[in-house]
Amino acid sequence: MDRSDIIYNLAEILGCEAVKDEPLSRHTTFKIGGKADTYVKVTSASKLSAILRECRESDVDYMIIGNGSNLLASDDGYRGVVIRLDGDFRKIALVDEDTVYCGAGATLAALCKFAQSSGLSGLEFAWGIPGTVGGAVFMNAGAYGGEMKDVVYSVNHLTPEGETGRTEKEDLAFGYRTSVYRTNKAIITGVTLKLKKDNPDDIRARMDDYLGRRSSKQPLDFPSAGSVFKRPEGAYAGALIEQCGLKGHSHGGAQVSEKHAGFIINRQNATAHDVKSLIREVQTKVFDETGYNLECELIIL
């Protein structure tokens, strides 16, 4: 029996949806990626703990994905188990009048809607970011002057050994597109957020404003993984790329967006190889012509 089959069988016993040889192109916003040996939707902390324990004991590689919105999956797929947090991990609830608890598998869109309808402000900047809450905390997602670090109070997690834990705000080590979870290997399971009371209509107006700006500037009509490069100190990646004449430049089916040069889009059946080749071409030309070293912010699987 293949080692990943052990996880597949355990998932079925636990009542979790499991699929063999699942194309990762179905689970990434780039619409790119070969097959994962096993894809599992895990619905509770106890089931996640059991699967992590079995992965460790059976020496099976695993990775957690959210919406796949910051992920470039290999054309060769993934030799192991891809886990998506579902069920209990998508629940959102008020803790008190200005505090929300949200499962890591919930989308940012669902959390933003919940906060707005509850008259809670602070998450408007996240409206339109296509990730999950866990992924947003993991990378300290931000836009329009706001970041997750501004609203996160504490984070619940499971260690690779399947033990529960919690990290308070002061220990989250938030930085530009990073957090302590980039290095501690724990899996974010839920997030407590502190927000501010406000008028729901005013909150909605700000959300609509941000979404309008996003739609006018970003290539939302093509598959992509959002902004490809981190913002270099003292400059903007998109402006540097455009300055080097790379707007619209393509490699295979991947293209530097003609709408926003900071994005690479899947223009026509792009492969991960196309995207990685285009990233290297952009990095090389920008460095040669400007001296700036563009750091990729995508997670490359």
> Which residues are part of the catalytic machinery?
177, 227, 297
Partners of 23 in the beta sheet? 35
The C-alpha atoms of residue 12 and residue 146 are separated, in whole angstroms, by 41
Would you state the structure tokens that stand for residue 245, as one six-digit string?
Answer: 């004449």
Q: What is the CA radius of gyration of the chain?
A: 20
Q: DSSP state, 107? A: B
The separation between CA 33 and the C-alpha centre of its own chain, rounded to angstroms, equals 16
Spatial neighbors of 66 by CB under 8 A, at least 6 apart, are: 84, 85, 104, 105, 131, 132, 134, 135
Number of other residues whose CB lies within 10 A of the CB of residue 211:
15
80 dihedral zone (left: phi>0; alpha: psi -120 to 50; beta): left
Rounded Cα gap, residues 190 and 172, in angstroms:
14
